[in-house]
Structure 1
Amino acid sequence: MPEAIRKVNVIGHLNPDTDSICSAIAYAYLKNKLGNTDIYEARRAGSVNRETAFALKHFGFAEPELITTVTPQIKDCEVQKQDGIDAGMSLFAAWSRMRETGTDTLCITDEQNNLGGLIAVKDIANANLDIFDTEVIAESATSYANIVSTLNGEMLLGDPEATVTEGSVRVGTTPEMMEDTVKKGDLVLVTNRYETQQFAVECDASCIVVCCGAHVSPQVMASAKRHGCAIIATPYDTYAASRLICMSIPVSAKMHHDGIVKLSVNTSVDDAKKTIASSRHRFFPVIDEDGKYKGLVSTPSLLTAKKKHVILVDHNERSQAVEGLEQAEIMEIIDHHRIGSIETAAPALFRNMPVGCTSTILWQIYQENDVEIPANIAGLMLSAIMSDTLAFRSPTCTPLDIKAGEDLARICGEDIPSYSDAMFEAGADLTGRTAEEVFHQDFKVFSRGNAKFGVGQGSFMTENSRKAAEKLVGPYLAEAAAAEELPMVFYMFTDVKSSTTEFLYYGEGAEDVIRRAFGVEVKDGMAVLPGVVSRKKQIVPPLMATFQKIQEEQD
């Protein structure tokens, strides 16, 4: 497996049914087994219905994580691993870090790695150019340790952990010139003249910075100690020291902490581009799923985001797939439906077989690769086959489906009739469910030419449960059509034991379409279709043909 592939999402269709979910789990397991890896992960493209939830719980599986889009995200970009800095770090140290790392932005974090702000090279430049702000050292509560580090100096007297809390920065020349300028609490830069050093101390300066590595006499040291004046020695001359000392202030004094443009690892690259379009920065902090600082992403890296890798199971039509598929790398498609509208940018493995269930194809792939099917995986695959073939009653059911189902039942130790009845009953339970939930438990969108329509299906073991579902869902069809932006929607209420479907519909011209497609009369908004249980084989093809004929007549 190429190193570039971080993860492969194995995904079923929107409004997933049991086959879609169970096949995704079973195929992800198989791919990981064959590749001796763990990068294949099952995902769901919508809410799990009650039938599927029953199967998952029965065989000890949690619901796969939800995925709504496969567009590239920040996590698919090159995120620069850069440690956060402490808010007390000096501007000079921050600038040095920027030069070392080749970035113009640093992020300030706390001990728990929470993002507190950011500082950019422009902020440091602006601070350095503000030469008239002589009180910035005190206003920023700058530590003496920062001053010593910035001036490459040594603290001869005083506490390095203490901070400057008052006064301005002054340059001491002669006592005569200092008399009217140096005030109590000031920080004074002096040279080697004893008189200048002593006068600054006696003016109650909070600190004197002795430049050029000049000697400090014992008399000045003693006087400074009596006056509570700190002494710092630096090898730099007065000019350099006066320029550098403002760079000792902590980054917290100049950092941005309001309105920071920060990106989550789950933010889509498209959204990120819109967000940063008006920003003056080139690097942006990235936050992980736990809200902690992770690193930096640059504007150029958004243009080279890696595509997500996906395997599609139980569908191959664009209208049934998650968003952003055109921006993903489709590696494989395993399906049992008609060949639809999905296109790939590169060759991909496409296995499509005319069987009743995707899990039947997967059972065959397990056999071909001589991989043992664990009992719990076998149970999921059996559930999928029972669901899609209506326990072998559907006309889509083939001898291969029956063979696979019986073999899987033996592996997982289930009795097919009793287990399938229990699963269907769980799926038909309407307790606490809304019309929207029932409608979307198994709903797919189809198109033919200019025509676009949706077909949902529910399978029921008893007449009472079927009628209750019809009463709940029937009035919702108009709202569903509007929500899905479809001119027509149809819904199959299938009685499994009698192999009969009561067909409800909504939309202008839908009644005429049903008459022409199935040759039946419609009464009270419903068509009864004896012997019809399969959406894929008995409903969609006649509807497609009818829409095609209507379009030809209109042309």
Structure 2
Amino acid sequence: MPHTDVHRRVNVIGHRHPDTDSICSALAYAYLKNQLGGNCEARRAGQLNRETEFVLNYFEAEPPRLCTDVSPQVKDIDIRRQPGVDGNMSLKEAWALMRRVEIDTLCVTSAKNELLGVITIKDVATANMDLLDTDVLSKARTPYRNVLSALNGKMILGDDSDVIDKGSIYIGAASPDAMEEYVREGDMVILSNRYESQLYAIECGAGCIIICGGMSAPRTILSRASEKGCRIITTPYLMYDVAKLISQAAPIRHYMTTEGLLKFNLNTPVEEAHRVMASVRLRYFPILDENGLYCGVISRRNLLNVHRKKIILVDHNEKAQAVDGLDEAEVLEIIDHHRLNTVETMNPIYFRNVPMGCTCTIVYQMFLENHVEVPKKIAGLLLSAILSDTLMFRSPTCTPADKTAAAELAEIAGVDTPVYAQQMFEAGGDLTGKTAEEVFLSDFKIFSRGDVRFGVGQGNYMTEKSRSSVKKLLTSYLEEAAAHQRIPLIFYMCTDVPNESTDLMFTGPNADLIVEKAFHVKPENGCAVLPGVMSRKKQLIPPLMAAIQEQM
């Protein structure tokens, strides 16, 4: 058995419209791989049918998570885990951070990591060019600690946790007398060490004075400022430098983009992300995790290095039956018991295909080969799939290996096989509350012969009452099913398990002639009775394909 990459999770998945073998082989094989050091998860490509639901409930097994598309998603590329920033960060700090980590976009987040907005290097540059907005600090409700950071300053009077909520920026380079005309209550006044200018600004009602050149304030100024409620900041920078730097104290939340944010989540298809990115002139885009919280950013460059999903296919090797996006995934292994078909791989893979009645028989053999103990729950799942696929050993696909495996697994699972099989088949035949579509798709597969595609569904029923109900439900639905599936030919095997016979229902061009040619019977009213036919794989598909070939 090949080694599985333990660093990246591998999805073990069966075919669309999964039957019991498809689900149970995925669960059992994923368990085996993990016991051998792998990192695998069983997945399902469609809804569970009632037989499989019964099996999982009986053995208390969690159903695999749904996976209908394995095309690459944002989670499959290298996301830049750039931490979110506080909206109170100053423009100056944002600029410095962008240069330090070489990124031109920062994502602003809440304390809970919720995405609040995005600011780009262009936003910072634009803000720095708006030199005439002297009210910016108050409009942005700038914390005083931002001013201290921008000016490398020290607050010698006041509380740096306060917020600037009114006033403008005024450079007090003129004579003290001129301040009376310009300085208003709450203004922030940039000053030299001139005593008269400092006092006059305080008397005019300044909310804060900034003393430049590394000078401090005399005790008389501190005392009067305290009486008037004026804060005092000192900075080593000269007035010219302070005038240039002061607006950079404004918090980035004042400039960030909050409306119409272009963002993706981890499950966004890469194709969609690429299309959106190509339509706008942005470089980085925020990513949200499964809980809607910010987790990083991506750029167009990240899309060049997509890690394709790693897949192990069980119970099928046909592209038409596989999940969407298979061509964009990396198939590592195939474990199957059907004919060879159309799945293509880029590299050599581990391919195990054995003519047995059930994939789970093969999986059980692999447990034995690798000396891995089969737990009771897994034994129950493997047994259920064998009973289902071999129709309690009545199907012509059943081999001695299937019977031997079933006997050994029944002992481990602690079940009475005939009694359990009866319960399982009766659960699968229960139609209560089910629509025609649900019944039809519970075990449906698509096949092709040349240019002709056709679909075959199958249901196994233990009583005449169940079979009659199914035929009544599906008689008028098959044409609708053909339209929904976009397939001209549709067949449905209504299989009588106890009497080992199948009523084959059909619709489509020349379907009656194809059935007559394939099985040498005369169909009536869209149905043909096929005594002894129970296996879709071995008894139905080969003669159907031969007859279709003759019609081409």
TM-score (norm 1): 0.96
Q: 1:4: Cα distance to partner? A: 7.8
Shift of the alpha carbon at 1:216? 1.9
The corresponding residue for 1:341 is 342
Partner of 2:230: 229
- State the distance in 1 between where 2:256 and 2:174 align: 37
- Whole-angstrom CA distance in 2 between matches of 1:219 and 1:280: 56
**How far, CA to CA, are the matches of 1:229 and 1:278 in structure 2?**
51
Spell out the pairing of 1:27-176 with structure 2 (5 A cutoff): 27-35=29-37, 37=38, 39-175=39-175, 176=177
- Match for residue 10 of structure 1? 12
CA contact (8 A) 1:335 1:358 kept: yes
| CA distance in 1 between partners of 2:297 and 2:330 (Å) | 25
Q: Bigger shift: 53-62 or 365-374?
A: 365-374
Q: Which residue of 1 aligns with 2:216?
A: 215
2:478 maps to 477
AA partner of residue 294 (structure 1): C
What are the residue-to-residue correspondences of 1:81-480 with 2, within 5 Å?
A: 81-175=81-175, 176-480=177-481
Q: Is the 8 A contact 1:204 1:229 kept in 2?
A: yes
> Per-residue deviation at 1:42?
0.2
Provide, for residues 127-172 of structure 1, a one-character-per-residue CA deviation record: whole Å limited to 9, x for no partner. 1111111111110111111111111100011121111111211111
- Displacement of 1:355 in angstroms is 0.8
Match of 2:492 in 1: 491
Q: 2:264–2:288: 8 Å Cα contact kept in structure 1?
A: yes
Query: In the TM superposition, what whole-angstrom CA distance separates every residue of 1:317-337 from its partner, at most 9, and x where no partner exists?
Result: 000001111111110000000
Aligned length: 549
Partners of 1:5 and 1:309 within 8 A in 2? no
Q: Structure 1, residues 360-410: CA drift from partner, whole Å, max 9, x if none?
A: 111111121121111110110111111111010001111111111111112
Say what the alpha-carbon RMSD is for the aligned residues: 1.4
Give the secondary structure class of the aligned counterpart of 2:455: strand
Q: Give the aligned residue type for 1:92.
A: K
TM-score (norm 2): 0.97
SS at match of 2:170: strand
- Cα deviation 1:98-146 (Å, max 9, x = unaligned): 2232222222222222111121111111111111111111101111111
Q: 1:3 to 1:441 in 2, by over 3 A?
A: closer
Per the TM alignment, residue 201 of structure 1 is displaced from its structure 2 partner at its CA by: 1.7
Measure the CA separation in 1 of the matches of 2:5 and 2:128: 45
In structure 1, C-alpha distance between the alignment counterparts of 2:27 and 2:101, rounded to whole Å: 43
Letter in 2 for 1:91: L
Call closer, same or farther: CA 1:207–1:3 in 2, change over 3 Å. Answer: farther
Contact 2:109 2:116 in 1 (8 A): yes
Match of 2:28 in 1: 26
* Structure 1 segments unaligned to the other structure (5+ residues): none
Counterpart of 2:24, as a letter, is C
- 1 CA distance for matches of 2:8 and 2:238? 54
1:30, 1:69 → 2: CA distance?
24
User: Are 1:446 and 1:453, in contact at CA under 8 Å, matched by a contact in 2?
Assistant: yes
Q: Bigger CA drift: 56-65 or 169-178?
A: 169-178
Q: Is the 8 A contact 2:410 2:416 kept in 1?
A: yes
- Looking at structure 1, the residues matched to 95 and 6 of structure 2 have their Cα atoms a distance apart, in angstroms, of 34
- What is the DSSP-based 3-state SS (H/G/I as helix, E as strand, rest coil) of the residue aligned with 2:181? coil
SS in 2 for 1:294: strand
> Does the aligned pair in 2 maintain the 1:22–1:384 contact within 8 Å?
yes
Runs (4 or more) in structure 1 with deviation over 3 Å come to 1-5, 176-180
One-letter code aligned to 2:499: S
Question: For the residues of structure 2 that align with 1:206 and 1:123, how far apart are their CA atoms?
Answer: 29
Shift of 1:78: 1.2
State how far apart, in whole Å, the 2-side matches of 1:106 and 1:383 are: 54
